[in-house]
Amino acid sequence: MSNTPPSRPVVVITGASSGIGAALASRLAPTHHLVLVARRADALQALVASLGRADVVTVAADVTVRSEVEDVVETALARFSRLDVWVNNVGRGITRPPSQLTDADLDDMMTVNVKSALYGMQAVLPHFRLMGRGHVINVSSMLGRVPMATFRSAYSGAKHFLNALTANMRTEVQETHPDIQFSLVSPGVVRTAFGANALHGGPDSRALPNSQSADEVADVIAQLIADRRPDVYTRAGMAEMAVGYLRSLGEDP
């Protein structure tokens, strides 16, 4: 297998077997080399078949396990000799109000929504520093800005944590490596199996109002790869909603 550096950018997408991750893979396949990561090897293979590309790398891994994330980096570099973009897309919701949360609920939300992203950022960072450039994209949530769904309380809290962690990582790394970017993407309700797969069950996101498609979110992320902004929402009016929430608390952002 050739280790000649690729002419197209190399993008790692976690949680790639369905939803936003699969939509992003389809969106980027014509123009980027892809490393697709998920726990389900069969679903990854089905996705690759639909892309019609023989050079897509798949890695069956659990990104809540640090060593498996590190293995993804090694696999990608062994195949392409470089990485350009790492998309932390893994996430899981919950259906339980804050007054009823358990230790296990909090551990699950932090492990899936925060630790997986931290492991990705830390694993790819040495390569980005060596190259002097790179881009991490963390898929957050509008609930990480506005805690407007009490039954998603622990998920909302985890995404607030992810937002702060991303901003702090950006500040730390850019003190010495200004061309390494850490970006946040904040979708609202997306028509995927997210709700159906939430811890303790709950409403299906595909049946909720004011939703958008995974393809729409993928288009936003693809544009973000090109322009490397630090913070984006996935539809018009969402930034104003976040500002309105702060103002409702008496803040003046």
The yes-or-no answer on residue 119 being catalytic is: no
Write down the pLDDT at residue 6.
Answer: 63
* C-alpha–C-alpha distance, residues 148 and 162, integer Å: 17
CATH class of domain segment(s) 10-248:
alpha beta
Write down the pLDDT at residue 5.
Answer: 54
Write down the pLDDT at residue 137.
Answer: 98
Write down the pLDDT at residue 79.
Answer: 97
Instruction: Spot the catalytic one: 119, 155, 233, 245.
Output: 155
3 state SS of 182: strand
Q: Could you tell me the residue ranges of all domains in the chain?
A: 10-248
**Any idea which residue has 């800005």 for tokens?**
145
Tens-of-pLDDT digits for all 253 residues of the chain? 444 556 799 999 999 999 999 999 999 999 999 999 999 999 999 999 999 888 999 999 999 999 999 999 999 999 999 999 999 999 999 999 999 999 999 999 999 999 999 999 999 999 999 999 999 999 999 999 999 999 999 999 999 999 999 999 999 999 999 999 999 999 999 999 898 899 998 887 887 777 899 999 999 999 999 999 999 999 989 999 999 988 999 867 6
What is the DSSP code (8-state) at residue 18? S
* C-alpha–C-alpha distance, residues 185 and 245, integer Å: 18
Query: 85-88 and 10-14 as β-strands: parallel, antiparallel, unpaired?
Result: parallel
